[in-house]
Chain A
Amino acid sequence: MNVFNRLMVIIGLLLLLVGSSSLLMITMGGLDPQQWLSAPWHEVFSPFTQLEAPTWWNVVGLCLGVFLLSLLLLVRELTPDGNKAKVLTVNKNDLGRITASLTSLQDLVNHEAGNIEGVRESVTRIQDSSRGIHLHCRLSVDPNANATHLGQQVQERVKASVEHFIGKPVAEVHLQTQIAPLNQGNKKFYPRVR
């Protein structure tokens, strides 16, 4: 959505908020249309002050629904999109910017680490800094594997792969190994190999 469309949506939602809250106030008797509105409009809104029980509830319910929905959408629209920040800048110059999704890069690292014999699972977090990329990997390893040797193998392979595929230097690879399976919640892994 471009800036103009977004602005229109925000203005529309604000109008809905003001409209629904005003009608709610009029219906509930908190606002007198004859005092607040000019000639033709107070005649339109005055009947709302004299509504009978079932209609009154319907109008109040509808106004409350519209008000809450508009508020929710407005908050959602004004909150910065978290997904936009979840990218790694691969290159930036006068020609433009090249970014890659952090999730896909993390899956790439997990795939590379998982290809090493002795590694059962891997969960990676990637951070970028002026020194290069920082990888924080949690590994679930085979109990019979030599942790020191395996760790070194993972560090070298992951560093080489990331530097080749992304073209940025890897500043450090932090490893945390455990024998127990990693608790990955309900995260689904999609095949990374074609």
Chain B
Amino acid sequence: MTKPLHLIDERQIADAVAKGISLIPGVHMPNELEADVSTVGPGWRVWGIGIHRVAGELDIAIELLVTLNKTRSIPTISARVRRKARAIIQSLTTEPIRRLNLRITDIFIEE
């Protein structure tokens, strides 16, 4: 028997992911002037996160501004963001994630 999918609103996913990954040290979500993608609904918009459903799977695009230092690089931050985003999404829905693309729009150096 096929397991029923728990479909939830894109807003819940976008809000939860944006909030969750902002807590990672060195990660900042872009504002409306810095973001190229967003998730939009009637009367709301989450900047920096794009969510599409393709053939029953989720396609997620996340834009980030990162602050790097001696211990923090793009691969380490990206791995943390991906892990966190996946965990958040999987706690909200049983829908499979097809792709999770990250785009770093700006880089800052912490000295």
Contact = CB atoms under 8 A, between A and B. Distances in A.
A138 to B, nearest CB: 20
B100 A95 contact: yes
A108 B67 CA distance: 11
Interface size classification for chain A:
20 to 34
Contacts of B70: 164
A178 interface: no
A108 to B, nearest CB: 5
A38 to B, nearest CB: 39
Contact of B74 (A90, A96, A107, A111): A90
Contacts of B78: 90-91, 98
A175 interface: no
B68 to A, nearest CB: 5
B90 interface: no
Q: Most chain-B CB neighbours within 10 Å: which of A98, A105, A167, A193?
A: A98
A96 B89 CA distance: 15
Interface in A157-188: 164-167
Interface in A81-127: 83, 87, 90-91, 95-101, 104-105, 107-108, 111
Interface residues of B, number: 24
A194 interface: yes
Given A193-B109, A193-B110, A194-B67, A167 B75 contact: yes
A97 B61 CA distance: 9
**Ranked 3 nearest A-B pairs via Cβ:** A167-B75, A100-B104, A96-B99
Interface of A: 2, 83, 87, 90-91, 95-101, 104-105, 107-108, 111, 164-167, 192-194
Given A90-B78, A97-B99, 8 more contacts: A83-B36, A90-B75, A95-B100, A96-B101, A104-B107, A107-B107, A165-B68, A192-B108
